[in-house]
Amino acid sequence: MEKFLFEELQLFSLELAMFLKKTYIVMPTWKWVILALGICLAFVIRPGLQWLLKLFKEHNPIAKRYAKSFSHYLFRFEIERPLAWILIILLLFALDDALELAGKFVTYYEYLLKGFMGFHIIRIVYYMVDAMGYVFADIAAKTESKMDDNLVPFATKAIKFLVVILGFLMILQSFGLNVMSLMAGLGLGGLALALAAQDTAANLFGSITILFDTPFQVGDWVKVKDMEGTVEEVGFRSTRIRTFYNSVITVPNAMMAKETIDNMGVRPFRRVRQIIGIAYETPPDKIKEFCDRVRYCIKQDSTVNPETVVVNFNGYADSQLNVLVQFHLQVFTGPEELEQQQYIFIEILKIAKELGVEFAYPTQTVYYRGGGEAESQQTQQSAIT
């Protein structure tokens, strides 16, 4: 019978010592007791250990001194949680060595600890890749090229994906599995999987095409088929577009790579074209004065290209005289365009009010001739349609 660890200290009665030395399943009782106490103690001290690591993270002088550094971005994540678990797992490994656990139980015990250790190491490496992504994103933002602005998040996602896959394979390897043999055995299944994943592969190549061809950038206003909105994100499989009614459209990258994309965000100038209808009763001189005043007002705006301003009476409609107002704005976003367009249109309303020019609305004239009377009676009625 295996000797009890504290038997020589004579702290226990003979009956209790015999009970603790008795083997249950694969180990003496005293090892089960110490192991259970050690695991419970580990779970008790883990929150305190995590709190100490968090305190160190929050008061780290390097992260505070060097803004936008690797450590600054890394400490924005909850790295204290996986670090605390790693230290606890190391203590449980030390407990394993101290108790000299043996048999199949220790194999399963160590496999379990290795699995948890691998999981938390993957979390830390995942956070480190994210932090490096932020660092390179700051560097890319300082360059004139827009290609690296899209390349950095794409590369960061690819590396994080590889970290998870390779980490999972390493955990399987630590369990004693021959990963290479396992992958070779899955060769036939991989062929079937490749056939089933054709769309996924097409979307992946589509994302690579978008990345290097750069038909648009994140933040651009684009039109694709009947979809229109601002590009929010270009991922592995799809591109997310925020519509102007605030929903998100997810478009497969394979489709984005082969469809015609109208990139509204790269326009140096944005055209505004409007037909203003004024009443037929407006005198010719007042029409000319109205056009001259509106043309002058638009040209005074700093965001308008003065060479493109057109304000002219250009046609007769059924119930109005048409005045064409056309100009180009030098703005960079959709909201800026709408805001400036609204300002100019309100100024046009003010000019019309000052000159007494009335805007037309659809009207219809009806002539009625009564029967049986010597003289026809004529009435005119105008109705709003």
User: Does 20 share its domain with 134?
Assistant: yes
Question: Is residue 150 within 8 Å of 217, Cβ to Cβ?
Answer: yes
Q: Please indicate, yes or no, whether residues 114 and 86 belong to a single structural domain of this protein.
A: yes
From 134, 167, 185, give the residue that closes a domain. 185
- Regarding predicted confidence, which is higher, 283 or 175? 283
- CATH assignment of the domain containing 232: 2.30.30.60
Give the whole-number percent of the chain exceeding pLDDT 70. 75
Asked if 23 and 126 sit in the same domain, the reply is yes
Judgement on whether residues 290 and 221 belong to the same structural domain of the protein: no
Among residues of the chain, what percentage have pLDDT more than 90?
16
Whether 199 maps to a domain, the answer reads: no
Instruction: Please indicate, yes or no, if residue 374 is contained in any of the structural domains.
Output: no
Q: Per-residue confidence at 376, pLDDT binned at 50, 70, 90? A: very low
340 and 302 in a common domain: yes
Residues 37 and 74 in one domain: yes
Q: What CA–CA distances, in Å, run from 42 to 16, 31, 36, 39, 67?
A: 26, 16, 10, 5, 35
User: What is the arithmetic mean of pLDDT over 34-47?
Assistant: 85
The predicted-structure confidence for 1-40, as pLDDT tens digits, reads as follows 445 455 554 555 555 555 556 666 666 676 777 778 888 8
Q: Is the per-residue pLDDT at 379 higher than 50?
A: no
* Over residues 230-246, mean pLDDT: 83
Q: In this structure, are 234 and 289 located in the same domain?
A: no
- Kindly state whether residue 368 falls inside one of the protein's structural domains: no
Query: Has residue 181 got a pLDDT over 80?
Result: no
pTM: 0.51
Q: Lowest-confidence range among 263-277, 317-331, 367-381?
A: 367-381
| Nearest by Cα to 361 from 325, 323, 319 | 319
Residue 96 has pLDDT above 80, yes or no: no
| pLDDT at residue 384 in the model | 40
Q: Of the candidates 113, 117, 114, 137, which has an alpha carbon nearest to the alpha carbon of residue 125? A: 117
Instruction: Write out the residue range of the structural domain in which residue 231 sits.
Output: 214-266
Residues 276, 256 share a domain: no
- Per-residue pLDDT tens digits for 149-167: 667 777 788 788 888 888 8
Same domain, yes or no, for 258 and 296? no
What are the CA-CA distances from residue 333 to residues 42, 220, 230, 340 (Å)?
55, 8, 10, 11
d(CA 40, CA 146): 54
Same domain, 167 and 24: yes
CA distance 234 to 224: 15
Confidence of residue 331 (pLDDT cuts 50, 70, 90): confident
Number of domains in the chain: 3
